[in-house]
């Protein structure tokens, strides 16, 4: 999937962009998108953010699936939305140091929609292959989350948050 960058937007897209609100911003530092971090630092920060986001995602998924008896795909969907929202808010500022942008936000939403499909499909497949226990659900979660994390990092670093 090719995610459009702000330079790829047409006049219609620009008009649409003015009607889409900016996402909530974390008040961390000034926007310093020109201060590019090296690959190693970005990977470490992305993984640290991913661990935190995965804790949110997994906790919510398990609470809904086992605590409130939600169907596993629905529980995973809710957990994913919360986890990826946390990840975006932190990664945009801390990992990639990018300025706020409606186009970038829309591109991240499109990317997360694609990786949601991949992640939810993997979690569901393993959920039906393996016995439905917390241990097997955790293993399925790690496989699904790991796959989505790799896809997200590559696309965000090379396309969405590319420092010019």
Residue 80, token pair as written in the block? 């994913």
pLDDT confidence bin for 32, thresholds 50/70/90: very low
Q: 58 — alpha (psi -120 to 50), left (phi > 0) or beta?
A: alpha
d(CA 29, CA 92): 12
d(CA 116, CA 152): 10
The values of phi and psi at residue 155, to 5°, are -70, -40
The pLDDT assigned to 149 comes to 87
The pLDDT assigned to 62 comes to 94
Most confident of the following: 28-32, 153-157, 159-163 = 153-157
Residue 102, token pair as written in the block? 């409606």
* Average pLDDT of the residues in 32-61: 85
Residue in 34, 92, 31, 83 with CA at minimum distance from that of residue 61? 83
The values of phi and psi at residue 150, to 5°, are -60, -45
The pLDDT assigned to 13 comes to 52
d(CA 72, CA 143): 16
Q: Dmax of the chain from CA atoms?
A: 52
Question: Using an 8 Å Cβ cutoff, are 59 and 67 in contact?
Answer: no
Sign, CA torsion 96/153/39/17: negative
Q: Compare 26 and 124 and report the one with higher pLDDT.
A: 124
By percentage, how much of the chain surpasses pLDDT 90? 40
**pLDDT-wise least confident of 25-29, 67-71, 122-126, 132-136:** 25-29
CA distances from 105 to 3, 70, 102 (A): 11, 30, 5
The chain-wide mean pLDDT, for the chain, equals 81
For 113-122, what is each residue's pLDDT tens digit?
999 899 889 9
């Amino acid at each position: 999937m090719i995610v459009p960058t702000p330079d790829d937007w047409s006049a219609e897209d620009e008009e649409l962009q003015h009607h889409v609100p900016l996402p909530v911003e974390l008040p961390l530092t000034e926007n310093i998108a020109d201060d590019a971090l090296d690959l190693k630092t970005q990977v470490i920060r992305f993984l640290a953010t991913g661990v935190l986001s995965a804790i949110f995602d997994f906790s919510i998924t398990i609470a809904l699936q086992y605590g409130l008896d939600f169907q596993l795909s629905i529980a995973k969907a809710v957990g994913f939305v919360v986890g990826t929202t946390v990840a975006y808010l932190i990664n945009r500022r801390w990992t990639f140091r990018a300025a706020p942008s409606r186009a970038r936000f829309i591109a991240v939403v499109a990317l997360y929609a694609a990786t949601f499909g991949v992640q939810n499909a993997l979690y569901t497949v393993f959920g039906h292959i393996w016995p439905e226990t917390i241990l097997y659900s955790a293993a399925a979660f790690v496989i699904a989350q790991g796959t989505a994390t790799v896809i997200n990092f590559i696309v965000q670093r090379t396309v969405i948050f590319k420092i010019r």
